[in-house]
Amino acid sequence: MTPHNKAPCGSKPHRKSPCGLKPHKRSPCGVTPRNRTEHGFTLLEMLVTLAIMGLMMLLIAYAGRPNSHRLEAERAAARVAAVMRQDRGLAIATGNPVRFALPPLPGWLRATAQLPQDGLVFEQDGSSTGGAVLLLAPGLHSLIRADWLTGRVSIEDSPQDARHAP
């Protein structure tokens, strides 16, 4: 081979294939170019697709789940019970009686306290004066009780219409 016939970048000169088919053209460095249809997706295309899918899922998650008063009422009952348990723990830890105060609740939720005249007080030994808070919402009522002997706090949910609640 003469120096002027030499293929650039060390690639071999073009030859015909044994079956008579035209060989692929090679670039100067020996890489066979492919058609655009043979390429996969670029990284940018994949990232854009994933971002669009993520936004769609986010919109579906927030728009598809209506704000449920029942779920909000259950969360409010859990919050009231948590405050009672926290007050009981504080009374035991400090050795001083702690008076329960009802936390803020959504305006549409009715709360009825069934407590002694002095309110619900947790003593340093864990006991309490006893009492309950009844939360009423359409289709649900929750009764959060504090046992007078042990101070144990419990939640009783009833999926009843609020008009039939005791």
Location of structure tokens 């709360």:
111
Within a domain: 4: no
Within a domain: 28: no
Lowest-confidence segment of 8-12, 46-50, 159-163 by average pLDDT: 159-163
Q: Kindly list the distances between the CA atom of residue 98 and the CA atoms of 83, 90, 105, 118, 130, in Å, as whole numbers in the listed order.
A: 11, 7, 21, 12, 13
Is the per-residue pLDDT at 162 higher than 50?
A: no
The answer for residues whose C-beta is within 8 angstroms of residue 129's C-beta and 6 or more apart is 115, 116, 118, 119, 120, 121, 148
- Count of structural domains within the chain: 1
Within a domain: 20: no
The whole model's pTM is what?
Answer: 0.57
Which of the two residues, 13 and 99, has the higher pLDDT score?
99
Question: Is residue 73 very low, low, confident or very high in pLDDT (cuts 50, 70, 90)?
Answer: confident
Is the per-residue pLDDT at 39 higher than 70?
A: no
Within a domain: 49: no
Within a domain: 113: yes
21-44 residues labelled b (16+ CB within 10 A) or e (exposed)? eeeeebeeeeeeeeeeeeeeeeee
Within a domain: 62: no
Q: What is the Cα–Cα distance from 98 to 124, expressed in whole angstroms?
A: 8
Taking residues 69-98, what's their average pLDDT? 92
Q: CATH number of the domain that 152 lies in?
A: 3.55.40.10
Domain hosting residue 139, numbered range: 69-164
